Amino acid sequence: MTDTGRQRTGLLLRRAVVLDRSLGRPAAIALFATLVATVARLLGPLVVRSGIDDGIANSDTGAITTAAIAFATLLVAQYLAQRWAQFGVASLGELYLRMLRSRVFGHLMDLDMAFYGRSKAGVLVSRMTNDIESLSEFVEEGAVSLVTNLLTIAGVAVAMLLVDVPVALAVFAILTVLGFISRIFQKYAARAYTEVREQIGRVLAGLQEGITGVRVVQAFTQEEEQAGSFGGVNEAYFEANMRAARQIAWYFPTVAFFRTAGVGVLLFVGGRRVIAGDMSFGSLVAMLMYLDWFFQPIINLSNTYNQMQSAAAALAKLFRLMDTAPTVVAPADGGVTLAKPLDGEVAFERVSFSYDGVTPVIDGVDLVIPPGERVSVVGETGAGKSTLARLALRFYDPTAGTVRLDGVDLRGVSSAERARHMVLIPQEGFLFNGTLRDNLRYARADATDEELWDVCRTIGIDDWVYDLPERLDTLVRERGGRFSAGERQLVALARALLADPEVIVLDEATSNLDPETEARVERALATLLEGRTAIVIAHRLRTAESSDRVLMVGDGRIIADGAHADLVTSSAEYGELVSVWERGILR
């Protein structure tokens, strides 16, 4: 690993440590237990030397018994301390990972729509699964191994010097060569494992895209094409793992070779010193034990190094994610508190917006939507309809200009405050895994069951809910899979009504429904929108006809504004759009 690489890994690990200072005390306890276990183990060969030199060499059974009892005592102490350390580090790791998952997920929930517009869901899932798993392997296994083996290497080096300096120096010469080789391995292994982490994110993204889009794949008989596309990503992941495997394949046999060579050097040098009387036979046995303990930690550290590199790569990605600042920034002072109920006036003042900072999607829009007015926004695909609605909800901030709610700049209103007064109803009603009650209360957590039944009656779904197997306690399953599209949309409308907003932004909630369900949803919508300001992204003529006002968007500007009947004759662009609708090309 280069100096820069070591500094980067060190910085990442230091940042990880200070992320939660409350874990300092349990970490110190675990470290102390590890130290006790290591010291108990290192004293073992010295006890063996005493048993051989004082007991066996002198035919003293008492010395042999004393050495055996001392060795057994050290063994018990090592077992207890190691068990304590292992559990302490494991619990510490789980506490840390619990904290990290919560922080990363909380940060994801705070990021704005611009971030999700440029991010792949599979990659984000990989951050929360594979990258956290890499950290889990390190904090639960690698951390103990790292500390234990570093302490062991340092302790063995000191013990060998205390036993016999010339033999120790001969062994250290071999270890110097091995250390140089280890640095080469670390350099190339770091690159390989970083690439592995990158590729697995792409694999997960490809998996999610293929599985979620399987109906489209099968509808167009593109199974082989999709499998081929995933195969390319999978092949790249395979190659990344093979490059990592090639590094391991040459390094570990090299360590084994030097380990055997070390035994030969120790026997050659140490054996001659024993014969010459400069070293006791017990010391030679102790040195052989220490030699094995010298090389084994090096092998262990190489394995731990791989885990540490994988964890560092994962930390880099997680911290990069956590360092991503939302472009929609909360007011520094907590924001303006708006009175409830509001009038519900929405105003755009010279609003411009660009996704890429270059090409304007909305360009200099001036618009006032009076309280209680139902406005349909129409236009060709890509004209800027959805962007206009997102700006009204402050999913994005304008590149220039101001969006106001009852005269208040939305940039001065917190997300929570904005949500009290403005609600989005998407084209497809999204339900979370849980009960029907949980999904309705998503709008207002403190709502009573009586209030839930009231909104169900108002929307007209109380009979349907009453007939469900467990009524409000009925599990909706993932994405509301237990219910039909129309039923999910009706629940979404009931949820919006419970929030009691003054402004509703609607991505035409009936465009994907059958006629019977559509009529039912429209009746519920009429109830929900009564007396409220509504901005409706219209995909069909029927929606525009029933609105108080129609805005036609083209090239990021409002090119027509007025009642439907008036615009049919006064606006050539709108008249053409209506003609297209009537011919059934657009619905």
CATH number for the domain including 153? 1.20.1560.10
Quick one: pLDDT band at residue 4, thresholds 50, 70, 90? very low
Q: What is the DSSP letter of 435?
A: B
Residue 467, classed as helix, strand or coil, is helix
- What is the Cα–Cα distance from 550 to 567, expressed in whole angstroms? 8
Q: Is residue 587 part of a domain?
A: no
Q: Is residue 209 part of a domain?
A: yes
What pLDDT shows up at residue 516? 64
Whether residue 305 is found in the same domain as residue 361: no
- Integer CA distances (angstroms), 134 to 178, 243, 308, 461, in order: 27, 19, 9, 47
368 forms beta bridges with 347
What pLDDT shows up at residue 145? 73
pLDDT tens-digit series, residues 156-181:
888 888 888 888 888 888 777 877 77
- Integer CA distances (angstroms), 37 to 40, 85, 146, 160, 323, in order: 5, 8, 14, 19, 39
Whether residue 517 is found in the same domain as residue 571: yes
Cβ-based neighbours of 143, under 8 Å, separated by 6 or more = 89, 93
What pLDDT shows up at residue 513? 58
pLDDT of residue 551 exceeding 80 = yes
- What is the Cα–Cα distance from 186 to 11, expressed in whole angstroms? 17
- What is the Cα–Cα distance from 81 to 34, expressed in whole angstroms? 7
User: What number of CA atoms fall less than 13 Å from residue 407's CA on the CB side?
Assistant: 3
Q: What is the DSSP letter of 222?
A: -
Whether residue 274 is found in the same domain as residue 350: no
Run of H or E including 183: helix 165-212
Q: What is the 3-state secondary structure (H, E, C) of 468-497?
A: CCCHHHCECCHHHCCCCHHHHHHHHHHHHH
pLDDT of residue 388 exceeding 70 = yes
Whether residue 124 is found in the same domain as residue 263: yes
Question: Using N-to-C axis directions, what is the helix angle for 165-212 and 223-276, rounded to 10°?
Answer: 170
Run of H or E including 374: strand 374-378
What pLDDT shows up at residue 587? 44
User: Interior CA angle at 157 toward 156 and 163, to 5°?
Assistant: 85
CB atoms within 10 A of CB 380: 15
Q: Is residue 257 part of a domain?
A: yes
The residue assigned the tokens 């014969």 is 275
Whether residue 317 is found in the same domain as residue 464: no
Q: Is residue 8 part of a domain?
A: no
Whether residue 316 is found in the same domain as residue 429: no
Find out whether 88 and 33 touch, Cβ atoms under 8 Å. Answer: yes
Q: Is residue 3 part of a domain?
A: no
pLDDT of residue 214 exceeding 50 = yes
Whether residue 122 is found in the same domain as residue 35: yes
Whether residue 289 is found in the same domain as residue 351: no
Among 25-29, 130-134, 552-556, the minimum mean pLDDT is found in: 130-134
- What is the Cα–Cα distance from 159 to 286, expressed in whole angstroms? 9
What pLDDT shows up at residue 3? 46
Q: Using the 3D structure, point to which of 322, 354, 373 is the last residue of a domain.
A: 322
Sheet holding 549-554, edge to edge: 422-425, 503-507, 533-537, 374-378, 549-554, 557-562
CATH number at residue 533: 3.40.50.300
Whether residue 140 is found in the same domain as residue 215: yes
pLDDT tens-digit series, residues 495-529:
877 777 888 888 765 555 556 666 766 777 777 77
- What is the Cα–Cα distance from 194 to 355, expressed in whole angstroms? 31
Quick one: pLDDT band at residue 272, thresholds 50, 70, 90? confident
- What is the Cα–Cα distance from 459 to 499, expressed in whole angstroms? 13
pLDDT tens-digit series, residues 140-156:
666 677 777 788 888 88
What pLDDT shows up at residue 2? 46
Find out whether 105 and 64 touch, Cβ atoms under 8 Å. Answer: no
Phi-psi region of 341 (alpha: psi -120 to 50; beta: other; left: phi over 0): beta
Among 2-6, 33-37, 63-67, 578-582, the minimum mean pLDDT is found in: 2-6
**One-letter amino acid identity for 481?**
G
The verdict on whether omega for the bond into residue 341 sits within 30 degrees of 0, i.e. cis, is yes
Question: Residue 424 sits in which domain range?
Answer: 346-582
Q: Using the 3D structure, point to which of 258, 290, 322 is the last residue of a domain.
A: 322
Find out whether 359 and 555 touch, Cβ atoms under 8 Å. Answer: no
Residue 371, classed as helix, strand or coil, is coil
pLDDT tens-digit series, residues 409-454:
888 888 778 878 888 877 666 777 778 788 888 777 777 888 888 8
Q: What is the DSSP letter of 332?
A: T
Q: Using the 3D structure, point to which of 322, 338, 363 is the last residue of a domain.
A: 322
What pLDDT shows up at residue 7? 47
Whether residue 217 is found in the same domain as residue 364: no
Q: Is residue 464 part of a domain?
A: yes
Whether residue 282 is found in the same domain as residue 237: yes
Whether residue 508 is found in the same domain as residue 542: yes
pTM: 0.60
* Dihedral (CA of 223, 229, 232, 234) sign: negative
Q: Is residue 336 part of a domain?
A: no
Any alpha helices (H) in 51-142, and if so which ranges? 61-110, 113-118, 121-126, 132-137
What pLDDT shows up at residue 578? 74
Q: Is residue 6 part of a domain?
A: no
What pLDDT shows up at residue 252? 77
Residue 571 has phi, psi (to 5 degrees) of -120, 115
The total of structural domains in the chain comes to 2
